[in-house]
Amino acid sequence: MLCARRLGSLGAGVAALRPGRAGRCSHGARGRARGVSTSWSPVGAAFNVKPQGHRLDLFGERGADFVKIAHPEPSFRMAAEEACRSIGTMVEKLNTNVELYQSLQKLLADKKLVESLDAETRRVAELFMFDFEISGIHLDEEKRRRAVDLNVEILDLSSTFLMGANFPNKIEKRLLPEHISRSFARDGEHVVIDGLHAEAPDDLVREAAYKIFLYPNVGQLKCLEQLLSSRDLLAKLVGYSTFSHRALQGTIAQNPETVMQFLEKLSDKLSQRTIKDFEMMRGMKMKLNPQNSELMPWDPPYYSGVIRAERYNIEPSLYCPFFSLGACMEGLNILFNKLLGISLYAEQPAKGEVWSEDVRKLAVVHDSEGLLGYIYCDFFQRAGKPHQDCHFTIRGGRLKADGDYQLPVVVLMLSLPHSSRNSPTLLTPGMMENLFHEMGHAMHSMLGRTRYQHVTGTRCPTDFAEVPSILMEYFSSDYRVINQFARHYQTGQRLPRHMVSRLCESKKVCAAADMQLQVFYATLDQIYHGRHPLRKSTTDILKETQEQFYGLPYVPNTAWQLRFSHLVGYGAKYYSYLMSRAVASMVWKECFLQDPFNRAAGERYRREMLAHGGGKEPMLMVQGMLQKCPSIDDFVGALVSDLDLDFETFLMDSE
């Protein structure tokens, strides 16, 4: 859901490209938190108690992309969906408006005038020209109409594919043994399988879920084939050899050849480590299930979790009491203050300003520059709210004609449990990391100081947009940062250093296999958006790619690609998570590993990376931060070195 650069684009959500989510430490009915012995700052306290007062009226008209995802009223969501589609269609028509194109073409052809423009204005003009040309503006009238039609067709196919990707499968109850069918929801005489149940301890339950949920659906298969074909036709119509070439222009990678070189080199470096990880999982499966010890695609999430738990005893409930939501928000406040001179202040929303009484409003204030923007924190579970962690730009920052700066407004959406009568909301380590990740997106939006809303904050190439959020994950794993805020909500005791160390070390267990899985997904995405017609069916390509780039066998009569929802929002760009992680890793090690509170490094990070949004070439921002231009080998090396990173080198006492 990263924002594409389009004329008049709406604020779009930034969904984390993350391979997995940690479990939740859930609590019962809502209520004011009790037994909290720790004194929190105002921002910490604001998140550790239930807000007082009546339910507020619903959110205003801004941010249709957000409304269609998160609004509690179905009618509003449907109206927002239609608004997005209508605006998307209108934008495609604007991108084929010949008069606008010719005016811009005339401007860019005037060398003297172009040289008089500041760098950001010049880049925005070039981005608009790129938008025009990928929409077929340079074509004759008939082909331009065809380009508009194809874009509308792609929007419709994308919506249909997304719905199908999440739709549950059913099977007659009598076809499954009773002890297996009991693990799934029932609908009359049918069993409903709505996911992979990857954490289920019973091997047969996971196997059944995998085979049934991934059983091919003819309509979904046809939809995917049409989507890929339409994207290819559009790319060729506007002058690109593949959709991937069209999608990757202006990114860090620049082209699919570079992406494949990156993925192949990374796969080579991971191969032996991945084999060892699979052997370790196979050994654990043999220990627990000696009758059937062959490692299958439904096994890694479960057995890697068993190994982690056995080696490191990282039961989430041991950590939850130290990670109250208020404590975590205070930790973010401390970190941002030390690194960037920024403080978070909880404000009471006005009547009609928010869409649920659970939403908190934060003002982001710099110690010398004043108010920088607002973050609305929609953090808690509620009926009908999707279980996904997202960042939405409601209003982007920009320089206004009167010289003032239009302050950005964003929403962070999480799915955290409510506080209970006896405790505040308590986060698992995974939830805490997700919170830091999403706040990285928010800071990108808050600190962007671009002249144009078109390129502010996260409105930048996909493989750069995840860098600030992933970098925050490194901070969330550092004892010196955690030690600032992780306190037991009842006793005030700090989270012991050895528990942080165990948690960090546990993340390396089977990490190579996890990364190899992401390489497989990213490679599949590149092949699907590469040369057409595809040389084989999408399922045959899946089988071949899985065996080459992952190593576990393809399961007959399954079609995982039909559940690969990221093919819509990240078509030809799924590699972005890996590349962003490589950049974040390099920035962490170069600039923050020695001192995560280094103010000079924080200011450089703001100046070189956060301030520009999409208004500067992403590789120039990376080069400015690292003071060198990294190669493919540097990217690969950064990812592989993370697998061996000795967290004890920087887990030192802050006293």
Q: What is the CA radius of gyration of the chain?
A: 25
Show Cβ contacts of residue 143 under 8 Å, excluding neighbours closer than 6 positions.
136, 237
Show Cβ contacts of residue 302 under 8 Å, excluding neighbours closer than 6 positions.
198, 199, 200, 201, 206
Q: Provide the 8-state DSSP code for 598.
A: -
Which pLDDT value is given to residue 246?
95
Show Cβ contacts of residue 550 under 8 Å, excluding neighbours closer than 6 positions.
516, 517, 519, 520
Which pLDDT value is given to residue 655?
37
Which pLDDT value is given to residue 20?
39
Nearest Cα to 427, choosing from 522, 343, 525, 321?
321
Reduced to 3 DSSP states, what percent helix, strand and coil does the chain have, rounded to the nearest 5? 55, 10, 35
Lookup: tokens for 80: 């927002």
Which pLDDT value is given to residue 379?
96
For the chain, report the end-to-end CA distance as a whole number of angstroms: 42
Cα separation, 33 vs 41, whole angstroms: 16
Show contacts of 601-610: CB within 8 Å, 24+ apart: 601/339, 602/338, 602/339, 602/340, 603/340, 605/339, 606/340, 606/447, 609/467, 609/468, 610/443, 610/444, 610/447, 610/448, 610/468
What Cα–Cα distance (Å) separates residue 476 from each residue in 122, 416, 484, 503? Answer: 37, 17, 11, 11
Cα separation, 49 vs 26, whole angstroms: 16
Cα separation, 420 vs 425, whole angstroms: 7
Lookup: tokens for 232: 């290819």
How many residues are recorded in the chain? 655
Cα separation, 138 vs 239, whole angstroms: 10
Please say whether the beta carbons of 72 and 57 come within 8 A: no
Q: CA 578 from chain center: how many Å?
A: 12
Q: CA 26 from chain center: how many Å?
A: 23
Cα separation, 286 vs 170, whole angstroms: 31
CA atoms within 13 A on the CB side of 492: 4
Please say whether the beta carbons of 362 and 344 come within 8 A: yes
Cα separation, 631 vs 527, whole angstroms: 23
Q: Provide the 8-state DSSP code for 426.
A: B
Q: Which positions of the chain have pLDDT values less than 50?
A: 1-38, 52-62, 647-655
Which pLDDT value is given to residue 141?
86
Cα separation, 178 vs 524, whole angstroms: 37
Strand partners, 185: 192
Residues tagged active-site:
438
Q: Provide the 8-state DSSP code for 201.
A: S
**What does the longest C-alpha to C-alpha distance in the chain come to?**
78
